[in-house]
Structure 1
Amino acid sequence: MSRVQTTKRKTSFICFFFVVWYTTYYFMNNNIFSSEKERLTKIRLSSSLTLSSNTLSTIYNNDNPLEELNMRFCGQTTCKFLFVYDYGEQETKANLHFRSFSQLAEKLNRTMILTNVGSSQINICQNYPFDFYYDLKLLRQEFPNVIYKYEDDFYLWLKIRDEIKKKMNYKKDNEIIPPLSILHSHLRRYDITTETIYREVKPVVSLNKCLSKFEPFMNLVDPKNSKVRYTIMDIAKSDIRPRAKPEFSELLVESLTTDEEIMLVNSFVLEALFPKVMPAIPYNDYILNEAQKLKDKLSSSYIAIHWRLEQARPELLPECAQGLIKTLKRVMTEEGIENIYLATDYPLLSSKSQSDTFKDITNYHHEAIRMLNETFKINTWVSLGGLEDLRKDKNYHSEFVGPGLQGILDKLVCIDANYFLAGSFGCSRILSTFTKSIEDERKDKIRNIDSGILNTIDRWKIIL
């Protein structure tokens, strides 16, 4: 080998090592490698991939660095990911869907990416890591056979893989690493079809612009970077009913059993995908502690009201308020309860409602809430100082404009109320997954005679 060729190789190696060092330095200083620093105020969040500069050096010096990276990242020589980047609904339903896809990840033997959260949603456009809402330790206990990785970890895997690819493909005598192999699939409940159909479709740039956050290391329009296959599954409503679900879930697993490294999924299914519905993902301890503080401030007993004003008939709301006031007076007298807690989508911090879908707020809505406040002392998560430290931090401002953490707090406080009231037809949205989840939890708790829970759910009557 000539001295010129040797010098070129040495220069190439030095440049490559500098890139590795810089990557390590960058991610360590952005808390991706370190689990000792707090990434959110008073909330300990950590990345699940911990790599030091020595570890990276070991990876790159291995005879097959890509296999070494995969072994360290997902425990296998070839990583296969399931990345559901949009769960399609607000937190209560998204929580259900995440569990379904965890079951799917286990069936497919795929590492599951923990999609970001925020604004009461689970999707990649949100600002906060998965454990801003959820307890990852307890989730892993529920699904011990599933490997979970954060979005940040996935980005790091893409970046290191790209560097390995460039290095190995530069050496003509080594194995060539191909572009990323990706299946991009859209799962949707499709009510106009009588049978579930899974089919290939023409390439689309993306179903979500926020996927671009993983560029340039995952570029869906560059065939030299990523080879993408696109599919859609139109799921018949009848196929996700309880009796048909076992057969449907087998079809789902069979259809999505594939060799692609990365499975990107956009989901809007509405129902659980498997016959066994797993328990709700537990919330992060700081949320549970915050909910307990609110319950403590409500003293020994309280009535909780969930009044979702969306889909109420506005002109009926003053009469609805009268009916609620009458019901509250009766319950407070009969049960000796003095405190009231209101969970609502009515604006509490700004002029914007606490629901993305509730936009038309009228004088009728304002009048109903005014009547309630003039009759009783009404406590809310705001008046009781819920999440005060986070609300003061500008980094979380968007979380409190519209839906967000406060919905989880409301749910937890309502679940443990001594008495629970929800709106009736005309006064409220009746088909609410949020209300149903509270009712279901209370059904379990009321079996304990020491729980202090007096009912599961009552709906107050309108006074006409």
Structure 2
Amino acid sequence: MSDIMLFTSYEDELQRILLPQNVQINSYLEEDYNTKLIPTDTYPNNYDSYDSYLDLYDDLYENINIKEFDEKFLSDSEVNKKYCKKEKDCRFLFIYYHSGQESKANIHLKTFSHIAGILDRTMVLTNVGRSRIESCNQFPFEFYYNLNALRNLFPKVNFISQLDFENWSRNRFKKPTIQHLHLSHDDSLMPILEQVNPIIEPVTHINCFNKFDLKFDNIAKFQRISINSEVLLQVNDGNDSSTLLIKNLMDSDAEILLIKDDIGKEILTQTHSAIPYANHIIKEALRIKVALKSYVAVYWRMEGVNPKSLPECAKQLSNTLQYIREIHGISNVYLSTDYPISTELNDPFSQFSHLTEYYNQAMKILNSTTDINIYSRISFDTFGKLRNRIGNNDEFIATDGVQRILDRIVCIGADYFLSGPANCCEQLNTFIRTVINARNELSKFDDSELQNIISRW
């Protein structure tokens, strides 16, 4: 069986992998929304809810100058021991940028965690937000992911938060040396390693390196490895690209390896396994699952579709939902969609405002389907308390970010999964591919209640 994190029965597997031991699902759902998190080695362990975790997170940033003052008299060996458990040879691997959205970047981060173990380097847990894993984002790694589960996957790898990495770099008297490696696509059949001469100022500011105290000088080494990403689809762990990459990184004596990943494909193994998500996301998915009982999940991303075809697409979907109700007796529907596709559609002065009627008409047709109940994340006021605590920013308003992760989990656990035909919806993006792979594995269990893997309406 694949090593993808799946749900034998949805609740049982989530309880086994992602929830605290000896906690029953029903009692867990009845708790207050303040989800208990497992603290990392580098965070104080005096918080027992996500709200208090956020309080701690805010406090760390607000009082960073005070903390620096308190620690500025520490020797470099003391600073190293505090943040990476070693008095010397404190070395890090920092993947500060991934070109792909969260579902791809998630898998890439797991791949590089494996490489960090090979290199005996501490893995920096890059910040997250808006479906991206990037150093400039505002939320800590654990806002999306279950760090305890990641540690279980890589028990020999030391992890550190981006915030603590920042504090380490600032408190060092002798500033750490760096090597910057850019992984980029090239049409060549063989990977190419070359030295590059970057313009330092844009590099440091565009990627928010100015908040880290790093040693960008003439000694810093900047390299590029150009890889044909299509070739990666046909190779395994012994391929030339991974061999060149790992050998190059093993030869580095820099304290910090900074990596920008523009490949979009896995460097090592071709696997669909991902880092499990944070408990507060899983809890929201369970809440929806329990409320809907049996349900059809519909993924309908309208971006890139001719708006004039949307009403007809909605009619086809409506007919399909009625057919599923008649055959399988399922009348509840969870809709994952990017509607409204843009705020510009609701702006009367926008050049796109004339398209609004097509989107609205499609939704009216869908909502009027006889004997079918349409729900979405909006229906369940997902992450309501968390939104109130953090603020109603783009992370919760947009159709990507934590909401997109939630939709993916809900789609995986649906009794029936639908996506649109070519003229109505994207065909095989990462979201759909992840759901298909997970549902395919889930269907192999004897007690699976899945009625299909994926169907097109």
TM range (shorter): 0.7 to 0.9
User: Are residues 366 and 196 of structure 1, via their aligned partners in 2, closer, same or farther at CA, if it must alter by over 3 Å?
Assistant: farther
Deviation at 1:241, TM superposition (A): 2.3
Answer yes or no: is the 8 Å Cα contact 1:43–1:286 preserved in 2.
no
Which sections of structure 1, spanning at least 5 residues, go unmatched? 1-31, 166-178, 354-358
Answer yes or no: is the 8 Å Cα contact 2:128–2:143 preserved in 1.
yes
Q: Indicate the residue corresponding to 1:16 in structure 2.
A: none
User: Are residues 216 and 332 of structure 1, via their aligned partners in 2, closer, same or farther at CA, if it must alter by over 3 Å?
Assistant: closer
CA distance in 1, matches of 2:43, 2:331: 50
Answer yes or no: is the 8 Å Cα contact 1:100–1:277 preserved in 2.
no
Q: Indicate the residue corresponding to 2:81 in structure 1.
A: 71
Match for 1:455: what amino acid?
N
Q: Indicate the residue corresponding to 1:101 in structure 2.
A: 112
Deviation at 1:217, TM superposition (A): 2.1
CA distance in 2, matches of 1:381, 1:277: 29
Answer yes or no: is the 8 Å Cα contact 1:90–1:121 preserved in 2.
yes
Q: Deviations over 1:111-144 (max 9, x none)?
A: 1100001111110111110000101011011011
Deviation at 1:44, TM superposition (A): 6.9
1:438 aligns with 2:449: no
**Other structure's SS at 1:96 match:** helix
Q: Indicate the residue corresponding to 1:290 in structure 2.
A: 284
Deviation at 1:255, TM superposition (A): 1.9
Deviation at 1:244, TM superposition (A): 5.5
Pick aligned residue for 1:383 from 375, 379, 401: 379
**Other structure's SS at 1:275 match:** coil
1:336 aligns with 2:329: yes
Greater relative contact order (CA < 8 Å, ≥ 6 in sequence): 2
Deviation at 1:314, TM superposition (A): 2.6
Pick aligned residue for 1:115 from 122, 126, 140: 126
Pick aligned residue for 2:449 from 432, 441, 452: 452
**Other structure's SS at 2:51 match:** coil
Q: Indicate the residue corresponding to 1:404 in structure 2.
A: 401
1:367 aligns with 2:361: yes
Pick aligned residue for 1:393 from 389, 397, 410: 389
User: Are residues 283 and 314 of structure 1, via their aligned partners in 2, closer, same or farther at CA, if it must alter by over 3 Å?
Assistant: same
Answer yes or no: is the 8 Å Cα contact 1:99–1:278 preserved in 2.
no
**Other structure's SS at 2:172 match:** helix
Q: Deviations over 1:399-428 (max 9, x none)?
A: 123221110110111111111001111111
Q: Indicate the residue corresponding to 1:137 in structure 2.
A: 148
1:251 aligns with 2:244: yes
CA distance in 1, matches of 2:220, 2:47: 37
Match for 2:416: what amino acid?
Y
Answer yes or no: is the 8 Å Cα contact 2:111–2:267 preserved in 1.
yes
Q: Indicate the residue corresponding to 1:422 in structure 2.
A: 419
1:153 aligns with 2:164: yes
Match for 1:372: what amino acid?
L
Q: Indicate the residue corresponding to 1:85 in structure 2.
A: 96
CA distance in 2, matches of 1:433, 1:139: 21
User: Are residues 443 and 244 of structure 1, via their aligned partners in 2, closer, same or farther at CA, if it must alter by over 3 Å?
Assistant: closer
Answer yes or no: is the 8 Å Cα contact 2:91–2:256 preserved in 1.
yes
Pick aligned residue for 1:345 from 335, 338, 345: 338
CA distance in 1, matches of 2:55, 2:272: 24
User: Are residues 387 and 215 of structure 1, via their aligned partners in 2, closer, same or farther at CA, if it must alter by over 3 Å?
Assistant: closer
1:241 aligns with 2:252: no
CA distance in 2, matches of 1:210, 1:143: 31
Q: Deviations over 1:239-286 (max 9, x none)?
A: 412325522211110122200111111111111111263731011111
Deviation at 1:295, TM superposition (A): 1.2
User: Are residues 142 and 59 of structure 1, via their aligned partners in 2, closer, same or farther at CA, if it must alter by over 3 Å?
Assistant: farther
CA distance in 2, matches of 1:346, 1:59: 51
Q: Indicate the residue corresponding to 1:194 in structure 2.
A: 189
Q: Deviations over 1:282-335 (max 9, x none)?
A: 11111111111111121x211000111122233322221111111111011110
**Other structure's SS at 1:186 match:** strand
Q: Indicate the residue corresponding to 2:32 in structure 1.
A: none
Counterparts of residues 169-180 of structure 1 (less than 5 Å): 179-180=175-176
Pairwise CA RMSD of aligned residues? 3.0
CA distance in 2, matches of 1:97, 1:286: 23
User: What TM-score, normalized to structure 1?
Assistant: 0.78
**Other structure's SS at 2:93 match:** strand
CA distance in 2, matches of 1:45, 1:447: 43
1:230 aligns with 2:240: no
User: Are residues 207 and 373 of structure 1, via their aligned partners in 2, closer, same or farther at CA, if it must alter by over 3 Å?
Assistant: farther
Match for 2:114: what amino acid?
Q
Match for 1:377: what amino acid?
N
Counterparts of residues 180-219 of structure 1 (less than 5 Å): 180-190=176-186, 192-205=187-200, 206-207=202-203, 209=205, 211-212=207-208, 214-215=210-211, 217-218=213-214
CA distance in 2, matches of 1:416, 1:333: 21
CA distance in 2, matches of 1:236, 1:285: 37
Answer yes or no: is the 8 Å Cα contact 2:169–2:212 preserved in 1.
no
User: Are residues 39 and 352 of structure 1, via their aligned partners in 2, closer, same or farther at CA, if it must alter by over 3 Å?
Assistant: farther
CA distance in 2, matches of 1:45, 1:251: 44
Larger CA Rg, structure 1 vs 2: 1
CA distance in 1, matches of 2:374, 2:52: 29
CA distance in 1, matches of 2:85, 2:272: 25
Answer yes or no: is the 8 Å Cα contact 2:177–2:214 preserved in 1.
no
CA distance in 2, matches of 1:43, 1:212: 24
CA distance in 1, matches of 2:305, 2:312: 12
CA distance in 2, matches of 1:381, 1:57: 45
**Percent pairwise identity:** 34
Q: Which moved more, 1:396-405 or 1:138-147?
A: 396-405
Paired positions, count: 395
Match for 2:191: what amino acid?
T
Q: Indicate the residue corresponding to 1:267 in structure 2.
A: 261
**Other structure's SS at 1:41 match:** helix
Q: Which moved more, 1:286-295 or 1:241-250?
A: 241-250
CA distance in 1, matches of 2:80, 2:158: 12
CA distance in 1, matches of 2:97, 2:49: 23
Pick aligned residue for 1:128 from 136, 139, 143: 139
